[in-house]
Amino acid sequence: MSEPLETEARVRAAVARATGEDVSRAPVRRLAGHASLRSYWRVGERPRSHVVMVMPPDAKPEEVTKGGAPAVNPFVDVQRYLSGLGVRVPAILAFEEAEGLMVLEDLGDDMLETRLLAGAPRARLYEDAIDQLARLRAAAEARPAGCVAFTRAFDEELYRWELDHFVEWGLEAWKGARLSPEERAVVDRDFDRIAAALAAEPRGFTHRDYQSRNIMVLPAGAQAVIDFQDALLGPRQYDLVALLRDSYVELPPELIDALLRRWLERFAAAGGPRLEYGPFRATFDLLTVQRKLKDAGRFVFIDRVKGNPGFLVSIPASLRYVRDAFARRPELAELQRVLARHVPELAP
């Protein structure tokens, strides 16, 4: 039996065991999995369908994560935690760990991204996503334990590794460039400063990839969150950078400003501390430099190492975000000049 047919038989059998239904004749379709090592399969026709996550043997976190190997499956653990906070997440019908199969509620195909492409009002969709994120963060800060995310964190070493990931894959592999000793000294100095400043920020539960392809819009308009298994501790601004500096959807500056201010208001209303916009925005911009440089390098890595070129088209947006953030952080002007010699997209 070929691998696709074998997987089709496995996911059908998993749904049958989880639901007690006869799905022997149900259609099976593989769903888009983006950059994940996991694959997703829809069994049946909506609205009576289910999704099966197929995990490779000895699956590791999709992103580099600080902390030891978790004792429980991260997806199951974080799903339970978020559900307990009132966040809409897909229900888990069955988890067959030995088989590497998980049967999930089917939330449909409408991501925030696809709703936007279909012409849905942008402001309302993002306001809902911002409101949910503010409630999630405030609730998690009031309950700072309870899942694997609290055992691992963004620290100075991890931030620094991600910045070096850009040098290795974005600058060297993609652009074919090599830093001179003088340039390397500037880059090392400012990368160290960025990593230290971000590591000093207050940490809390962070989804890590709260963006337009990981927010599902349900038929009645509610939004559900997926792809949360790599959650860890990070700054309050991190998920906001993922959402508002999304490599797949670019937003105008005035909307980003309004949504950041909205998050601050909603976060305080949900029980979080009231934070000043100026310092909060400065950290948001610094995180934009760090996160989007990492993303640009990561997209090259996914192409060269995983054989998936589909993310290369998102590199220009990532670099535009970095360039714009540099303009708001003038103390990084020398770093910008050095990187722009080799990556012209970063030039002012």
Report the C-alpha gap between 72 and 146 in whole angstroms: 12
Answer yes or no: do 54 and 179 share one domain: no
Burial of 169 (C-beta count, 10 Å sphere; 0-12/13-18/19+): buried
Answer yes or no: do 251 and 333 share one domain: yes
Answer yes or no: do 146 and 101 share one domain: no
pLDDT above 60 for 69: no
Residues 6+ apart with CB under 8 A from 45: 26, 27
Q: Residue 218's closest CA among 278, 294, 132?
A: 132
Give the total number of structural domains in the chain. 2
Which CATH number do you get for residue 91?
3.30.200.20
Domain stop point among 105, 132, 160: 105
- Position 21 scores a pLDDT of 95
Answer yes or no: do 73 and 139 share one domain: no
Model pLDDT for residues 90-128, shown as the tens digit of each residue: 999 999 999 999 999 999 999 999 999 999 999 999 999
Answer yes or no: do 183 and 302 share one domain: yes
Which CATH number do you get for residue 233?
3.90.1200.10
Domain that holds residue 76: 3-105
Arithmetic mean of pLDDT, 13-35: 90
Answer yes or no: do 79 and 134 share one domain: no
pLDDT above 60 for 59: no
Answer yes or no: do 28 and 55 share one domain: yes
Answer yes or no: do 170 and 315 share one domain: yes
Say whether pTM exceeds 0.75: yes
User: What SS3 state is found at 114?
Assistant: helix
Answer yes or no: do 86 and 142 share one domain: no
Q: How many CA atoms within 13 Å lie on the side-chain side of 46?
A: 12
Report the C-alpha gap between 339 and 346 in whole angstroms: 7
Arithmetic mean of pLDDT, 315-326: 98
- Position 58 scores a pLDDT of 64
pLDDT above 80 for 325: yes
Answer yes or no: do 44 and 121 share one domain: no
Domain stop point among 74, 105, 136: 105
Q: Residue 31's closest CA among 14, 11, 13?
A: 11
Contact yes or no for 111/31 (Cβ under 8 A): no
Supply the angle between the helices 253-269 and 122-142 in degrees, to the nearest 10. 40
Contact yes or no for 159/201 (Cβ under 8 A): no
Structure token digits, residue 273: 């501390």
Structure token digits, residue 294: 């990492």
Answer yes or no: do 236 and 282 share one domain: yes
Arithmetic mean of pLDDT, 211-234: 96
Arithmetic mean of pLDDT, 219-233: 96
CA 18 vs CA 83, 93, 254: distances in Å: 20, 6, 48
Answer yes or no: do 155 and 99 share one domain: no
Using the 8-state DSSP alphabet, how is residue 204 labeled? E
- Position 285 scores a pLDDT of 98
> How many other β-carbons are positioned within 10 Å of the β-carbon of residue 176?
8
Model pLDDT for residues 246-296, shown as the tens digit of each residue: 999 999 999 999 999 999 999 999 999 999 999 999 999 999 999 999 999
Residue type, 327: A
pLDDT above 80 for 63: no
Percent of the chain, pLDDT > 70? 94
Domain stop point among 42, 77, 105: 105
